[in-house]
Amino acid sequence: MYGMEQINTATGFANAKFGSSKGQGAKGFDEPEIRILELSKYVIKFELLNTDLSVANSLRRIIIAEVPTMAIDLVEVKENTSALHDEFIAHRLGLIPLQSFNVDQFNLSDQCACSSMCAQCSVQFKLHAVCSDRDQMEVNTRHIQPLSDAPIIPVQYVNDKGIEEDPILIMKLSKNQQLDMNLVARKGNGKIHAKWSPVATCQMRKEPIVEIDQDKINRDLDIEKRKEFVALCPREVFAFNDYRNAVEIENSDKCIQCIECLRFAQANNLERAVKIAEREDKFVFTVESTGVLTPEDIVSRALQILMRKLYELGTQMKKYGVNAD
């Protein structure tokens, strides 16, 4: 059994860390805010405000590992006379991003009613390439031919100007080598294997707070030292105002909490003049899609997955005879 002391520690910790636990609605948990900072074809940046680290982290984890997509999962090798061995090519094929806007049409293969595979849980492709008339040939995603009319195809990247980029290179063949494979794409998520993760990066950071006591710094440091102070920050958070000969904060958002400025202040007996911290209730997300889904779609799917998860657990709780009150 747990001793009384331990229980008290736990409660004490809870109170200390999460502020007043008076009532059930600790501030800022039920009223989160979202603000979108940037949205492009492959990247979304947004702020999540008035919320807890655990919420932001759950969202991040779901985006990376629980948003389902399609990826090549089974490769049948009929002919491979290339320099690369079968598994090596199969692994490369698995990592090719496939457009997954219609992923909801499909079942996870272990939950499908069929015995091995069917049109509801898999998409078939053919990869056939022969190098006969050249010394060398590139095999790329354009060689992957769908065998059904399911709209799952390798992602075609477009650059900022809307021009199509080169297809993804899979491998090279030299003269008289050939490749003949059947590919099967299946639905999955990043928990099973990273190839199903819809994002290249999903990072989350707390917003930095940088405060300086301008009066003190500009009074106690000579001009050379002030310039030194501005220059030591690796992220150019501070600026030197030539009219006032004073240090100013230019862009506190760039700060990476390296505390170089704090150390400088301490060395010059100005401990109190510089303050570096992070906001505990604001998170800046950068989600970069691999192209399988649009970035805004990834985030809203992630939120829906969280909702569905809780709905399922809610029905499970009902089975235990707990009513919704």
Partner 1 sequence: MSSTRKSQVQSSKVASEQIKTQKDIDMESDEDRNDENRNDNQQQSRPKLSIQRQDGDNTNATYSFLNEDHTLGNLLRNVIIKNNQVEFCAYSVPHPSEPIMNVRLQVAPSCGDTKKVLKHGLKRIAKMSDVLTEKFQNALDKYENRMSD
CB atoms within 10 A of CB 32: 15
Show the binding pattern over residues 86-105: x = contacts ligand SF4 (CB under 6 A), - = does not.
--------------------
114 binds, among Zn ion, ligand SF4, partner 1, none (CB under 5 to 8 A by kind): Zn ion
Residues 117-146 that bind Zn ion (CB under 5 A): 118, 120-121
- How far apart are the C-alpha atoms of 52 and 45, rounded to whole Å? 18
From its phi and psi, is residue 236 left (phi > 0), alpha (psi between -120 and 50) or beta? left
Q: Does 255 bind ligand SF4 (CB under 6 A)?
A: yes
Show the binding pattern over residues 271-300: x = contacts ligand SF4 (CB under 6 A), - = does not.
-----x------------------------
Considering the complex, state which of residue 90 and residue 276 has its C-beta at the smaller distance from ligand SF4: 276
CB atoms within 10 A of CB 70: 25
In angstroms, what is the minimal distance from the CB of 136 to Zn ion? 40
- The answer to whether 249 and 237 are in contact (CB under 8 A) is yes
- The answer to whether 262 and 23 are in contact (CB under 8 A) is no
Residues 89-118 that bind Zn ion (CB under 5 A): 112, 114, 118
Q: Does 235 bind ligand SF4 (CB under 6 A)?
A: yes
118 binds, among partner 1, ligand SF4, Zn ion, none (CB under 5 to 8 A by kind): Zn ion
In angstroms, what is the minimal distance from the CB of 276 to ligand SF4? 5
- The answer to whether 200 and 286 are in contact (CB under 8 A) is no
- How far apart are the C-alpha atoms of 64 and 216, rounded to whole Å? 46
Q: Does 146 bind partner 1 (CB under 8 A)?
A: no
Q: How far is CA 311 from CA 134, 137, 218, 307, in A?
A: 59, 52, 58, 6
The contact set with Zn ion (CB under 5 A) reads 112, 114, 118, 120-121
